[in-house]
Structure 1
Amino acid sequence: MSVFTQLSAEQAAAWLEDYALGTLETLEGIAEGVQNSNFFLTTTLGHYVLTIFEQVARDEVPLYIQLMAHLAARGIPCPEPVANRHNAFITDLCGKPAVIVSRLPGRSESSPNLAQCAAIGAMLADLHRSAQSYRGALAHQRDTAWCIGVAAQIEPHLNTDDAALLRDELRHQQQFRPDDLPRGVIHADLFRDNVLFAGDRVSGLLDFYFAGVDDLLFDLAVTVNDWCTTPAGARDSERNRALLAAYATRRPFLDSERLAWPTMLRAAALRFWLSRLHDLHLPRPGDLVVQRDPDAYRTILLARRATGASQVVTCAAGGQSLLTLP
């Protein structure tokens, strides 16, 4: 979540006249994230989030809105889109598609405890299972092909060591990432700041606008790399075990997934190292845009590469197989 499009309170108030949400009280830009312009919107009738889509193609926006509605109907705590007086969820604001969604209760946790790690593991498995019946044709926009394309753009900006690391990791992914793992709609960006908690219960999953069809294991790797990593890039074994065990109780892992786990952790680290390098070297103009440190994911990628030869151990977890690294 960021602010790339400037929006005044007067513009927002005029736009809100087409909604039965009362009158505008406050409008506050949200600085986190990298893709769309987002605002906390408070009216006389409630609290909402306003999103102006900056990069999502106009004809793809309804697919994301429909996905959230699909998941919410199956008990996944997603933001609920709000229709205007013409029963439309998506309208134009500043010449771009925009949507209002409910603002969910709770808060994100920068240092989640073991119970919260377990809760997000179980919730992610529930999301994967619930999304299997979604019929929208959502392509994952940040897949391996995207990584290859972005790498070509940013490599001239990198030093010799980073350029060599990038080329080597891309070769590894193209050679060793399997093409026969379970697939479905994934969140693809389930970082700690995209999850809300009420105590140890997940009360909200946010920012579905990177979602698309890909390996379910990739989604899990993205989550583990953020939730279960020390500042030095190493794996936090207790958090890792809690999250993976809870996931496995909802969706047991295949042998092929256990074998692919080290490569998938590397793939997830590569994706976010690349996106942060891209934002650093080829930034988009905007207000309140948080610049995320690419070196954090370079460190994680190096750590995952160092443990890539480690054996994958099968452990008991509620009668199911558990992915873990020694």
Structure 2
Amino acid sequence: MEHRKVMILGTGPAGYTAAVYTARANLDPLVIEGDEPGGQLTLTTEVENFPGFVDGVMGPELMDNMKKQAERFGAAFRRGRATSVDLSVRPFQVTVDKAEVYTADALIIATGASAKMLGIEGESDLIGRGVSTCATCDGFFFRNKRVIVVGGGDSAMEEATFLTKFAQEVTIVHRRTELRASKVMQDRARSNDKITFVMNASSKQVQSDGNKVTGLVVVDNETGETKTLEADGVFVAIGHQPNTAFLNGQLETDDVGYLVTQGATSLTSVEGVFACGDVMDPRYRQAITAAGSGCKAAMDAEKYLEGSMTHDWSAASTPS
């Protein structure tokens, strides 16, 4: 078994930032990159809201630079996915790709959350070319355009309302006859003149001109009629799934599966395990907030390893 002082599970802005900080602290971190090295930003084209880039930066380029910065300070990277962990032993044991076993004195969980997708034709091919899962990230690119938001919960209403700041018109498509969103969120969306609704309709295909989105094919669930809603962008807002299944319930999570951290720290319910990024953040889910939480996780891990952390771990709640 290869042993490390710190292992970081996952990359993206959170994992890479944690790698930079732990490497600079001479903690010799090993980063397990996961199924999508670089995280969701590798699926994004231009990022304009990350500080320091006046003219924006391509998502893959930003992630590649973060990785190179971490490598410069000595962080090591291993392609693969953490398939299981054992948090009941010290040092912790991490199994990668169901084969290789590593041990670590501290773990930083940065495995992120995956946006739930519709699974329809054209969707995956057009990610970054009109299909998006983040209005806050990509809304600016649809100024005076027509966009569609697919979903019926609070997140869909919130995304649609936000998009009205930029888009000429916003259409909400929902597969049921009634929305799942709270009344206040529904009322806010329905009172916005830019928002219209197509209810009881299932999404079947994202159409394009070969380069960018041109519309969404939907089927009326009652009549079976198929029609195409013309649009320049399609925002999928049916929720996110935090990537915590591999933990097998060893850390406290909320009802959805997001890791619970203690107060403003990165501390989880198990001593020596820290969480950062989208895996513990159901609210903001931004590159800059993920990077900030990665910094906190690294600093918390450093204090834990040097024995200067004064947190009362016995007061932390445990998984149910």
Asked if Structure 1 and Structure 2 have the same fold, meaning a TM-score greater than 0.5 normalized by the shorter chain, the answer is no
- Bucket of the pairwise TM-score, normalised by the shorter protein: under 0.3
More strand by share: 2
Higher Cα radius of gyration: 2
TM-score by length of 2: 0.27
TM-score by length of 1: 0.27
More helix by share: 1
